[in-house]
Amino acid sequence: MYGLSRKVRMNGVPFSVLVIDDEPQIRRVVRNALNADALAAGDAGAQPAVRALEAATGREGIDLAAAELPALIILDLGLPDLTGIAVCREIRRWSRAPIIVLSARHEDTEKAALLDAGADDYMTKPFSTVELLARARAQLRRARQLTEPSPKERVTIGDLTVDLGLRRVERSGVLVHLTRTEWALLRTFIENPRKTLTHRQLFTAVWGNSEGDAQQYLRVYVGHLRRKIEQDPIRPRYLQTEPGVGYRFEPDADAQR
Asked if the model's pLDDT at residue 21 lies above 90, the reply is: yes
Asked if the model's pLDDT at residue 230 lies above 90, the reply is: yes
Residue 11: pLDDT band with limits 50, 70, 90? very low
For the chain, domain boundaries = 15-146, 154-249
Looking at residues 117-124, what average pLDDT do you find?
88
The 10s digit of each residue's pLDDT in 50-66 is 778 999 999 999 999 99
In this structure, are residues 94 and 226 in contact, taking their beta carbons and an 8 Å threshold? no
Rounded CA-CA distance 198/162 in Å is 23
Q: What is the mean pLDDT of the chain?
A: 81
The pTM of the whole model exceeds 0.75: no
Confidence (pLDDT) at 244? 87
Asked if the model's pLDDT at residue 253 lies above 80, the reply is: no
* Cα 100-95-250 angle, rounded to 5 deg: 45
Query: How many residues does this entry show for the chain?
Result: 257
Confidence (pLDDT) at 76? 92
Rounded CA-CA distance 102/21 in Å is 9
| CB-count exposure of residue 238 (10 Å: 0-12, 13-18, 19+) | buried
Tell which CATH classification among 3.40.50.1000, 3.40.50.620, 3.65.10.10, 1.10.10.10 matches the domain 154-249: 1.10.10.10
Confidence (pLDDT) at 39? 61
Strands (E), the chain: 15-20, 50-55, 72-76, 99-103, 121-124, 154-157, 160-163, 168-171, 174-176, 196-198, 239-242, 246-249
Q: Which of 44-53, 98-107, 123-132, 197-206 has the lowest mean pLDDT?
A: 44-53
Give the domain 15-146 fold. Answer: Rossmann fold (3.40.50)
At 70, give phi and psi (nearest 5°). Answer: -65, 155
Asked if the model's pLDDT at residue 257 lies above 50, the reply is: no
Confidence (pLDDT) at 45? 45
User: What is the full DSSP assignment across 201-251?
Assistant: HHHHHHHTT--S-HHHHHHHHHHHHHHHH-S-TTS-SSEEEETTTEEEE--
SS3 8: coil
Q: Give percent of the chain with pLDDT exceeding 70.
A: 82
The 10s digit of each residue's pLDDT in 183-202 is 999 999 998 888 889 998 89
